């Protein structure tokens, strides 16, 4: 077994990456960065911020610097960058105070080569923010009114703000005990794994981690729709589809797989949304049932993992990571996998690549050192504390580091687009190579991870050499 683990580790660090560009500039320590990829313009922009300044640099598709703008950052009242929007050659970053009632919009206008700041005060009426997200270059701050099912959507676009309200009082929401409740109660629940009033983004830019998909509240985007799923109830997945063009809303409940209740074991469940299919899992200490349904609720496929039986749809060994990739062990039995998933936070994560579906099934622990400092360091992607964890363009760095200081147990599976299992060894994804590379390159700060021109890129700043480097990882 020790020889096998050594071979696995050597393979994991024998990856190929290409250094494609380095450029020199001065960057203060503890600087934050997020990126905006614009495939239609064939360019990428990096937004850097520190305690005094904010700057934006634009690169072409060969990573040649096109232009840049620099300005003083907004006042110390605004501590966090929560999102961005784009209108032509005007790039807006949005800064927030602690309670999100004070918003500063900082505009970098590359036509006039100027910058300006505009402030907004949001008069919250017994409401709390639950989602900050950029969709189709428009920034949305979404709140829920306390003890109701009313959402307020603050839309930031082209230097203007507009407020829309969505009343979901006619929708049925179920709590943990299957009693009717309101949306506030669903999003205000909290556990040691999932804080209250948070909804985890799931973005297909990079393969979503089990850490992200273990959350019971998740947010997906499709076209101009924001799709929220709730798995607080073990018998149902509750889905809300919010159309951000007309602010209408569609709701549907999906039954979780049926399992016979045992007096000796309770259940846990979760789900994952991929394209137009919903994957649901239900688990106890000796069995896991999984179904794939279309969005009408029709069951298309089902799979099971049963203790002490071979898992016929897995394409990897049973892997346990302990805080980092280099601290990995292999488990032998399906009973170990089931027990560990059940005792952790059950999770399914899927990613589509080359017309195949890569699925990871497993469980994730809470942070093993659950201090605020550790959490901030992990979520910030080793870049500091200014960038909000919810910002969509910082998602992939957070995703990259999300297994740090956690125990993670999982198997990898491969399916075609109809969820027919494909036998054989899974080709290593570029993101897996990047995870190993980033662990080795911990000296690089202000990290970025993004997909551009169908390739995966990693960027980081070397303070010793005062240069920012871009690496490409082939699919």
Enumerate the domain spans of the chain. 1-38+369-399+433-475, 201-366+406-427
The predicted structure's pLDDT at residue 475 = 63
Cα–Cα distance measured from residue 323 to residue 403, given in angstroms and rounded to the nearest whole number = 6
The predicted structure's pLDDT at residue 378 = 36
Cα–Cα distance measured from residue 109 to residue 69, given in angstroms and rounded to the nearest whole number = 8
The predicted structure's pLDDT at residue 200 = 95
Q: What is the pTM of this model?
A: 0.91
**H/E segment holding residue 183:** helix 183-187
The predicted structure's pLDDT at residue 205 = 84
Q: Tens of pLDDT along 410-469?
A: 999 999 999 999 999 888 788 888 998 988 888 999 999 999 988 999 999 999 999 999
Tell me the two tokens of residue 157: 């676009």
Ranking 174-183, 252-261, 262-271, 348-357 by mean pLDDT, the lowest is 262-271
Has residue 370 got a pLDDT over 70? no
Cα–Cα distance measured from residue 164 to residue 143, given in angstroms and rounded to the nearest whole number = 11
Q: Residue 116's CB: how many other CB atoms inside 10 A?
A: 13
Cα–Cα distance measured from residue 321 to residue 329, given in angstroms and rounded to the nearest whole number = 7
The candidate with the shortest Cα–Cα distance to 138, out of 120, 159, 152, 119, is: 159
The residue ranges of DSSP E strands in 196-276, in sequence order, are 200-201, 217-222, 225-230, 236-243, 249-255, 268-274
Q: Tens of pLDDT along 174-209?
A: 999 999 999 999 999 999 999 999 999 999 888 999
Q: What is the DSSP letter of 257?
A: P
The predicted structure's pLDDT at residue 6 = 30
Cα–Cα distance measured from residue 139 to residue 115, given in angstroms and rounded to the nearest whole number = 19
Cβ-Cβ contacts under 8 Å for 198 (sequence gap 6 or more):
130, 215, 217, 390
Instruction: HSE, CB side, 13 Å, CA atoms: give it for residue 111.
Output: 6
Mean residue pLDDT across the chain: 90
Q: Are 172 and 249 in contact (CB under 8 A)?
A: no
Higher pLDDT, 260 or 160: 160
**What is the pLDDT confidence band of residue 143, given thresholds at 50, 70 and 90?**
very high
Q: Are 230 and 250 in contact (CB under 8 A)?
A: no
- With 0-12 / 13-18 / 19 or more C-beta atoms within 10 angstroms meaning exposed / middle / buried, residue 223 is exposed
The predicted structure's pLDDT at residue 11 = 34
**What is the pLDDT confidence band of residue 2, given thresholds at 50, 70 and 90?**
very low
The predicted structure's pLDDT at residue 462 = 94
The residue length of the chain stands at 475
Cβ-Cβ contacts under 8 Å for 456 (sequence gap 6 or more):
206, 430, 431, 434, 449, 450, 472, 473, 475
Cα torsion 328, 330, 331, 334 to 10°: value is 110
Cβ-Cβ contacts under 8 Å for 6 (sequence gap 6 or more):
none
- With 0-12 / 13-18 / 19 or more C-beta atoms within 10 angstroms meaning exposed / middle / buried, residue 112 is exposed
């Amino acid at each position: 077994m020790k020889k096998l683990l050594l071979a696995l580790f050597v393979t994991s660090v024998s990856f190929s990456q290409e250094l494609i560009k380095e450029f020199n500039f001065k960057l203060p320590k503890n600087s934050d960065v997020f990126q905006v990829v614009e495939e239609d313009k064939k360019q990428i922009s990096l937004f850097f911020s520190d305690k005094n300044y904010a700057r934006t640099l634009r690169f072409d598709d060969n990573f040649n610097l096109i232009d840049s703008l620099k300005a003083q950052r907004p006042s110390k009242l605004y501590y966090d960058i929560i999102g961005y929007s784009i209108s032509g050659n005007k790039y807006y970053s949005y800064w927030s105070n602690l309670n999100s009632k004070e918003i500063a919009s900082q505009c970098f206008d590359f036509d006039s080569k100027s910058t300006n700041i505009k402030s907004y005060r949001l008069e919250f009426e017994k409401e709390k923010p639950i989602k900050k997200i950029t969709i189709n270059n428009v920034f949305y701050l979404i709140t829920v009114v306390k003890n109701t099912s009313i959402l307020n959507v603050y839309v930031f676009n082209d230097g203007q703000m507009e407020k829309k309200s969505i009343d979901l009082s006619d929708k049925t929401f179920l709590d943990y005990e299957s009693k009717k409740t309101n949306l506030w109660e669903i999003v205000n629940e909290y556990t040691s794994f999932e804080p209250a009033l948070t909804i985890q983004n799931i973005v297909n830019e990079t393969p979503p981690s089990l850490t992200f998909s273990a959350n019971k509240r998740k947010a997906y985007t499709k076209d101009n729709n924001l799709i929220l799923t709730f798995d607080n109830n073990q018998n149902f997945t509750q889905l809300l589809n919010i159309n951000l063009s007309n602010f209408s809303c569609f709701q549907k409940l999906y039954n979780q797989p049926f399992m016979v209740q045992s007096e000796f074991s309770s259940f846990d469940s979760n789900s994952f949304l991929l394209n137009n299919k919903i994957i649901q899992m239900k688990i106890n200490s000796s069995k896991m049932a999984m179904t794939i349904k279309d969005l009408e609720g029709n069951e298309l496929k089902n799979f099971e993992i049963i203790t002490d039986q071979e898992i016929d749809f897995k394409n990897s060994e049973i892997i346990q990571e302990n805080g980092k990739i280099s601290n990995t062990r292999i488990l032998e039995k399906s009973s170990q996998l089931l027990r560990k998933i059940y005792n952790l936070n059950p999770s399914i994560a899927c990613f589509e690549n080359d017309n195949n579906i890569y699925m990871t099934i497993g469980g994730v622990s809470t942070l093993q050192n659950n201090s605020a400092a550790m959490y901030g360091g992990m979520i910030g992607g080793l870049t500091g504390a200014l960038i909000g964890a919810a910002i969509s363009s910082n998602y992939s760095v957070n995703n990259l580091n999300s297994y740090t200081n956690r125990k993670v147990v999982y198997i990898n599976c491969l399916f075609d687009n109809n969820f027919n299992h494909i036998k054989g060894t899974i080709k290593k994804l570029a993101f897996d190579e990047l995870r190993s590379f980033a662990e080795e390159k911990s000296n690089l700060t202000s990290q970025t991870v993004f997909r551009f021109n169908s390739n995966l890129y990693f960027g980081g700043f070397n303070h010793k050499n005062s240069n920012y480097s871009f690496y490409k990882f082939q699919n």
